[in-house]
Structure formats: C-alpha cells, structure tokens
Chains A and B, each alone.
Chain A
Amino acid sequence: MNKSQPQITREMVFAHFVHRATLMERQQIESWLQTKEGAEAYFTYLDEWERQFPQFQANLENARADFALFVREADAKPFLDLKRKEMAAAVPVDENAQPVWRRAGIFLSAVAASVVLVAGMWLAKDIWYYKQTTSRNGQTLSIHLNDGSRVLLGASSSLKYPRFCFGETTRYVWLEGDAEFKVAHLANAERFIVYTPDQTAIEVLGTEFMVRSRQKSTRVLLRTGSIRLTNPMAAKPLMLRPGDLVTVTDEKRIQKEKFFPQQVEQNRHVRKFLFKNTSLKEMAEQLNDVYGISVRIEQPELLTRTVSGTFQAETAADLLEAVSEMMKLELKETADGYTLLQRAE
C-alpha cells in the first residue's frame, strides 16, 4: 500500500465533488486525504472547483466593505464589545425551577432593565466614560495620559479620551484641532489610536508625531517611529516613515510627501507654524481656525501666493508680521482683524 497515491488526478477529485466517483475512487481519495500532500491538494482542488462551477456568485465588494467596517469598529469600540459580552454572559444564569411564565417574566424584566441601563449608560457615555480637555484661543495645554504618553494640545483644540484603564485595554483618543503626541511604547504592545473628525485613524505603538485636524483637512507629520493611517477614502492603510507629512483633504484626497528632516527637528512646539507651499488664502483660514481672527487679503492675485518654512510666533500678529516681512507685503490692523496688501512701490 505504500505510495498508492499518485493516481489521484484532478478529474477524479472533481468527479468525487459532483458525486460521480466510483466507490473505489472514493476510497482512494479517502486514504489520499490522510497524507499531508493529499489533505492540502484536496482543498486546492475544492477551491478550483468552486471557482469553475460556483453554486452562485456572492457580492464581493459589499461584503468586503462590511468586513472593513467591522474591523474598524472592532478596533474603535473594544469597550462596547466588552459590554455586549457581559450582557450575553448574564442572560442564561437563571437556574431556578420556577414556572415558565414567571421565569420568563423575571427574565424579561431583567433583560429590559439591563437594556435600559446599558442604553442609558451608553447614551451618557460621553459624560462619564470620557474626559475631554479643550484649550482656548491662543492657549496651549500639556496633557499627561495615564499610560505615560504626553500630548501638547494646540490652541482652540480638544482631546477626548477614556477615563478608565487608559493604557491597559484602551488606548484611543479623539482629537479636534492641533496636537503634538509623544506616545509611550507599552510592554504589552497596545496600539495607540488617534481619531479625527474626518474619520482618519492614526495608529501607533510608540512614537512622536504632530496632528493638525481642521475642518478642511487633517495633516499628520511623523517625527520618529512609524504610523499606520487609515481613512474611509483610502483603499488600504497608509504607512508613514519619519519625516513623512500626510494631508487628507475634504476633496477626498490623501497626499503623502517628505517633509524636510531638519524642519521636523525644529518643530518642538505647537505654536510653531509649519507651512509648505501654503497659499496665503490657506494661511488666513488657519489663523482664523487657531486664533479666531479674520485676515483679509486685499488683492486677489495674493491669494495664491505661497509660503514655505517654519515660523515661531507667540501671537497671530507676530506671525503675520513675519510673513508680510518675508513676502514684502504690507500689514494693516483693522477693527475686526488684519488686512494684507501689496506694498506700494
């Protein structure tokens, strides 16, 4: 009986799949399945056969999107899953030999009560489960998280994070605005995830990076380590290396570029403004975002002129002065903000 396998052919296995193999062939296939090669080849043939003669064509793209969504939610809501599991575990514990209707009644009210409780707690989750820190105009805040990570929160920004067990089972935060992260690497290799309002997820183990999340775009600049960035618009996660600058805009575009390493090193504080081919129009929008002041740009041809470089500025006025100096523009203070205009020759 040694090496009686070689006569197993694809045709034979296919015949077996459509229930047309003879009894002897079936027995041969059965003993072939006991061997390692046979067991593997069997599934290769099965796969081939299902592709050639499918029972039906399932819709791949919908299912794939569902799966992607599931993965994202499973990552984002470990807490909710835990709650659900606890509920599921709590259900079948009723062991008293009471009449069925009473048991059902108690059981139903218990279920109803826990549903109400859990739903209520879930709805109020923002209040009791998360801590939210918001900075005012022109103010930067330093936040120490329980896992040893540090966040320098920029002006007019807010950071939301779980109050309990941060670093043990949950390491995710929500950011609106600017922040610089120094994420501690944990022994259990728990991932740290930053979510921004445009559904970008920035996933790291331990690294330093900056995030600027504004209404129109999210920018991520990585200083050390590596980052995995996901966004519903991106087909697959984006991996960032030190010095990478990624911009996600609301025009459904994700752009990755190399930021100059020396400038990366300089960006120690959030109050440094980093510009790279930023138009004056964009700059004005950012100033409005960060400091809440309005900047008017007089001549339309100025709107598209671009600024590059890093500016250290305590106030918006300082920054505007530096920029206007560099670009040879004139800066005027008005009642409701500032105006930039072409210098009279």
Chain B
Amino acid sequence: MISASSDEDDKKTQTAVSLDHDGVIRPDDEILIRRAFATDAYQGCDLLFRRYYQPLCSQAARFVYDRAVAEDIVADLFKTFWQKRIFERIDYSYRAYLYRAVRSNCLLYLQREAKTTISVEQYMSEEIRAQVPHPSDQIQFDELAERIDRLVRTLSPSVRRVFLLSRFEGRKNQEIANELHISLKTIEAHLTKALTVFRKALSHE
C-alpha cells in the first residue's frame, strides 16, 4: 500500500480494463472511490462511509425499526469491511455489496432477537442461521420490510406509540412511563407485544 504497491496497482488496472472489455458497464459514480482505494484504503473506506452511511442506516431501520440498532449495524458493517479487507474483493459495485450486506445483517439481527425473546436456551446463533430459511433474493427482503411495516401499523395506537418512542426516539422505559402517565409494567407489556411483530414477520418465510 505504501511504497512497493506498484505491481498491485498494475494488476488492478488490468482487471478493470478487461472487465470493461467484457462489456460490463461499471457504475461510473464509484470510479473516484475505486481510485481512492487503489492509493489509500482508509481514504476509500472514508469516502464510502460519507456517501452511504446515512441511506444505509435508513434502509436498516426499515427492518429493525430501531434507530440505535440500525446505526450499530451499519457501523459494524463498515468495521468488518475494513478489518477483513472486503473492499479488495469487490470488483463490481460497492453500493450493491453494502446494501446486500446491510439487509442480511438486519435479518440476522431480527432472527436473533425473535429467538431470544422466546427462550434463552435456543440462543445459538449458528444453528438459527441454519434453521431459518434465508431470503437470498432481494425481493424477499422487500417483502419482509413490507410485512414488518404492515404489522407495525396493525399494532394498537398506544402500543405503537410506546414502541416508536422506545425504538426511534431512544427513550428509556421509565421516561416513556412518566411522559404518557402509564405504569412501567404496561410499557414493558406493550414492548413485548410489539416484538411479536418481528416474530410474525419472520415466521411467514
């Protein structure tokens, strides 16, 4: 990357050229980012971060319905991206990779959360991954987002309000209880009820 990277650079430009000869049209809005990666990996990652962090968070929120969780998922995604040097293996579009990855990480999160709320013993992340069918198709993700959205809408107004305050405004249960003048127990019950949304949405698969 620093001084003796000239042979690597050559390889990269060669593959880029040959791909173009294959007739693949690269998304040219990412050319600058790709060039940045060729000289400085961190700069490349930072460009991607600046460009995609916010829309990716928004996308994640459609699945997990939780602001903080969505932000964590996207931040973790970038960390893995850097740590495992995934950017070296992307030869088509960063955008497609990032959106695909954020969607499947959201699904993993939902599966884990749905299971843990059922029983603690079942918490064995690897097995869950094997058991639950995995929507590899992007359309299935769209349908999952639609199911979640629809189910959130079917929640009773009071349950929905508590749920959104907790997950989108980041309020503590006690704060919500004080604000809405209802007991902490009720809040907890409402939130448990809301969590069934994700279980229901997932069980449809």
Question: In the complex the two chains form, is A19's CB within 8 Å of B146's CB?
Answer: yes
Q: Does A60 contact B (CB under 8 A)?
A: yes
Chain B 38-51 per-residue mask, 1 if CB under 8 angstroms from chain A, else 0: 00101101100110
CB distance from A55 to the nearest CB of B (A): 4
Question: In the complex the two chains form, is A227's CB within 8 Å of B2's CB?
Answer: yes
Q: Does B139 contact A (CB under 8 A)?
A: yes
Taken together as a complex, chains A and B put the C-alpha atoms of A239 and B2 apart, in Å, by 9
Q: Does A169 contact B (CB under 8 A)?
A: no
Q: Does B93 contact A (CB under 8 A)?
A: yes
Q: A203-B2, A207-B3 are in contact. Are A55 and B53 (CB under 8 A)?
A: no
Taken together as a complex, chains A and B put the C-alpha atoms of A40 and B19 apart, in Å, by 15
Question: In the complex the two chains form, is A74's CB within 8 Å of B55's CB?
Answer: no
Residue of A nearest to B75 (CB): A63
Question: In the complex the two chains form, is B78's CB within 8 Å of A58's CB?
Answer: no
CB distance from B82 to the nearest CB of A (A): 6
CB distance from B141 to the nearest CB of A (A): 10
Q: Does A47 contact B (CB under 8 A)?
A: yes
Q: A40-B27, A46-B99 are in contact. Are A205 and B137 (CB under 8 A)?
A: no
Question: In the complex the two chains form, is A58's CB within 8 Å of B3's CB?
Answer: no
B53 contacts across to A, CB distance below 8 A = 58, 60, 63-64
Q: A40-B93, A206-B3 are in contact. Are A60 and B50 (CB under 8 A)?
A: yes
Taken together as a complex, chains A and B put the C-alpha atoms of A19 and B43 apart, in Å, by 37
Question: In the complex the two chains form, is B149's CB within 8 Å of A206's CB?
Answer: no
- Count A-B pairs with CB separation below 8 Å: 124
Residue of A nearest to B26 (CB): A40
Q: Does B61 contact A (CB under 8 A)?
A: yes
Residue of A nearest to B61 (CB): A55
How many chain A residues sit at the interface, stated as a range, is 35 or more
Tell me the residues in window 157-178 of chain B with beta carbons closer than 8 Å to chain A beta carbons.
168
Q: Does B54 contact A (CB under 8 A)?
A: yes
Taken together as a complex, chains A and B put the C-alpha atoms of A261 and B58 apart, in Å, by 52
Q: Does A150 contact B (CB under 8 A)?
A: no
- B residues neighboring A (CB under 8 Å): 1-4, 24-25, 27, 40, 42-43, 45-46, 49-50, 52-59, 61-62, 67, 70-71, 74-75, 78-79, 82-83, 92-93, 95-96, 99-100, 137-139, 142, 146, 149-150, 168
Question: In the complex the two chains form, is B2's CB within 8 Å of A71's CB?
Answer: no
Taken together as a complex, chains A and B put the C-alpha atoms of A204 and B75 apart, in Å, by 28
Question: In the complex the two chains form, is B27's CB within 8 Å of A71's CB?
Answer: no
B61 contacts across to A, CB distance below 8 A = 55-56
Question: In the complex the two chains form, is A57's CB within 8 Å of B75's CB?
Answer: no
Q: Does A51 contact B (CB under 8 A)?
A: yes
Q: Does A298 contact B (CB under 8 A)?
A: no
A50 contacts across to B, CB distance below 8 A = 55-56, 58-59
Residue of B nearest to A189 (CB): B4
A68 contacts across to B, CB distance below 8 A = 46
Question: In the complex the two chains form, is A30's CB within 8 Å of B2's CB?
Answer: no
B78 contacts across to A, CB distance below 8 A = 67
Known interface pairs A39-B96, A40-B27; 12 further A-B residue pairs with C-beta atoms within 8 A, sorted by A's residue number: A36-B24, A43-B99, A50-B55, A51-B55, A54-B55, A55-B61, A58-B58, A64-B53, A67-B49, A71-B82, A228-B40, A237-B42
Question: In the complex the two chains form, is B45's CB within 8 Å of A58's CB?
Answer: no
Q: Does A44 contact B (CB under 8 A)?
A: yes
Q: Does A122 contact B (CB under 8 A)?
A: no
Q: Does A16 contact B (CB under 8 A)?
A: yes
CB distance from A341 to the nearest CB of B (A): 48
Q: A43-B95, A63-B75, A74-B83 are in contact. Are A228 and B58 (CB under 8 A)?
A: no
Question: In the complex the two chains form, is A204's CB within 8 Å of B3's CB?
Answer: yes
Residue of B nearest to A17 (CB): B142
CB distance from A239 to the nearest CB of B (A): 8
Q: List 17 A-B contacts (CB under 8 A).
A: A39-B96, A43-B100, A47-B52, A47-B95, A50-B55, A51-B54, A51-B55, A54-B54, A58-B57, A58-B74, A67-B75, A67-B78, A68-B46, A71-B42, A185-B3, A191-B1, A225-B3
